[in-house]
Amino acid sequence: MLENIDYSLVNWSRGQFALTAMYHWIFVPLTLGLSFIIALMESLYVKTGQEQWKKITKFWMTLFGINFAIGVATGIILEFEFGTNWSNYSWFVGDIFGAPLAIEGIMAFFLESTFIAVMFFGWNKVSKKFHLVSTWLVAFGANLSALWILVANAWMQSPVGMHFNPDTARNEMLNFWDVLLSPVAINKFLHTITSGYVLAALFVVGVSAWYLLKNREHNLAKKSILVAGVFGLISSLMLIYTGDGSAKQVAVVQPMKLAAMEGLYEGKEGTGLMAFGILSDLSEDTTTRNSKEVVLKIEIPKFLSFLAYGKFNAYVPGINDLVDGNADRGLLPVAEKIDRGRFARESLAQLKAARDKGDTITYNQLKARFSDQHFRDNYFRYFGYGFLSDPNSVIPNVPIAFYSFHIMVALGFFFLLLLALVLFVLYKNKLEGNKLLLRVALFSIPLAYIASQCGWVLAEMGRQPWVIQDLMPTMAAISHINSTSVQITFFLFAVLFTTLLIAEVSIMIRQIKTGPK
């Protein structure tokens, strides 16, 4: 339990980070996918020698450059916020969390920045093949940059490959490969980048559809739809596959998030998957847990059990089971986890006191406790619970998790069907006459951004109150600064980011209306 915590500071710090992250994620997915679409288009230019492919590549490359520049600006601010607003977090796990971020800066960012100059300014100055290699390296660099950031985020969701040093009160990395190759990291990376690929494909298809609606640039539009549509359709299938893998990992490492995603309060065997539902109560009052039961629901029988554990009759714990415990299923009540977490925190405080007093005997006994496997498995693993006082505080905002998950999934399947239909109609050479389908493709661009944002809202809000799952709650991670300074910077960033977004959209629209040169 934390005494004298400034919850205004906590909330404003969370709000500022969420603001920055959500604006940053507006720009990143288009960069991830559009870079590969451009590389594919340029590959067709080099292979065929047709100047029309060069014209198409340079047009989409211009839009990529506009988006890339603004995405970098928001990303830099995001990383600085770890030091300014979340210094306790940075101290507690900086040795681990900082490593992938450092690699991202040294390796991936410099790879992008080195070859992006060749990609934009090297036309007719270097050979076709060297320019093509530069374009592919920019695409790989952008996605490699995403890899390291997502590895860091995945570690927060499921901390692995480390040990706790009681002398410094810090977590230190033991095995870099465990961090990099954890199942959560692999699934998060693949699912996130494929969502970016789908968004970029829908962006290209939607803009191309606008040209066809305006009876302009028919050749560019149809060739772009072909490349982006195939790329997006394959990515959509991968997105569904990686989403399944992500759900299985969430069931193992974050069962409370899974229960919130489905509005599941009472665990049971053979649990159905909610295809559609409305929560009966949108209040955030966690003291009346059953008040948010799902009504008007359409359920796929037993499918959640299969999705989470690969068995149709598997038991899926609900929110009540996870809070109150279920001895038959081996689930500890949160109250017991709080007691164990407090014992771990008290042990650390006693060790520090013994060290400061020069009490070598007590110090060595307590230090040996932190090295004991039984203590680590049964007490230190609940270290973060020692900061909590109310068992219900481990319940995330159920309405946000529930609706963000179902909106994301519904739109994901819609995009798959849309891309398949667009390609089919294009193959039949009837796309230009299908005004309704072209309009749907155009207005699917903002839907792609909504689905993308829902994914990150679910990932981050669904794991609250944890900044590091089970080890550190959000309220313990903040810097000891004045909340007024965070409020001021929140509004400054809100104005800045909104201005940048308006500027990007305006420049993009102007460039699209101008068309290729």
Q: What is the 3-state secondary structure (H, E, C) of 431-448?
A: CCCCHHHHHHHHHHHHHH
Taking the C-alpha atoms of residue 102 and residue 96, their distance in angstroms, rounded to an integer, is: 10
Taking the C-alpha atoms of residue 452 and residue 415, their distance in angstroms, rounded to an integer, is: 12
According to DSSP, the residues that pair with 170 across neighbouring strands are: 165
Total number of domains constituting the chain: 1
Range of the domain at 222: 21-258+392-514
> 464 lies in a domain?
yes
CA distances to 164, 176, 277, 322, 327 from 330, in Å: 26, 31, 30, 10, 5
> 352 lies in a domain?
no
**Contact at 8 Å (CB) between 412 and 201?**
no
> 208 lies in a domain?
yes
**Contact at 8 Å (CB) between 387 and 10?**
no
- According to DSSP, residue 465 is labeled T
Q: Which long-range contacts (CB under 8 A, 24 or more apart) does 299-306 make?
A: 299/272, 299/273, 299/274, 299/275, 300/272, 300/273, 300/275, 301/270, 301/272, 302/270, 302/271, 302/272, 303/272, 303/273, 304/262, 304/264, 304/271, 304/272, 304/273, 304/274, 305/269, 305/270, 305/271
**What pTM value is reported for the model?**
0.91
> 288 lies in a domain?
no
Q: What is the pLDDT along the chain (517 residues), one digit of tens a residue?
A: 455 678 888 899 999 999 988 998 998 899 999 999 999 999 999 999 899 999 999 999 999 988 887 777 777 777 778 878 888 888 888 888 888 888 877 776 677 778 888 898 888 889 999 999 999 999 998 898 889 889 989 999 999 988 889 988 898 898 899 999 999 999 999 999 999 999 999 999 999 999 999 999 999 999 999 999 999 999 999 999 999 899 899 999 999 999 999 888 888 898 888 878 888 765 555 445 655 667 777 888 888 898 888 889 999 999 999 999 988 888 999 999 999 999 999 999 999 999 999 889 999 999 999 989 999 999 999 999 999 999 999 999 999 999 999 999 999 999 999 999 999 999 999 998 899 999 999 999 999 999 999 999 999 999 999 999 999 999 988 888 888 988 999 999 999 899 989 988 999 999 999 988 7
> 120 lies in a domain?
yes
> 132 lies in a domain?
yes
- According to DSSP, residue 182 is labeled -
The helix or strand, by DSSP H or E, that contains position 170, with its residue range, turns out to be strand 170-173
Helices (H) and strands (E) in the chain — how many of each? 17, 8
> 471 lies in a domain?
yes
> 53 lies in a domain?
yes
For 238, the token pair is 């991968």
According to DSSP, the residues that pair with 279 across neighbouring strands are: 294
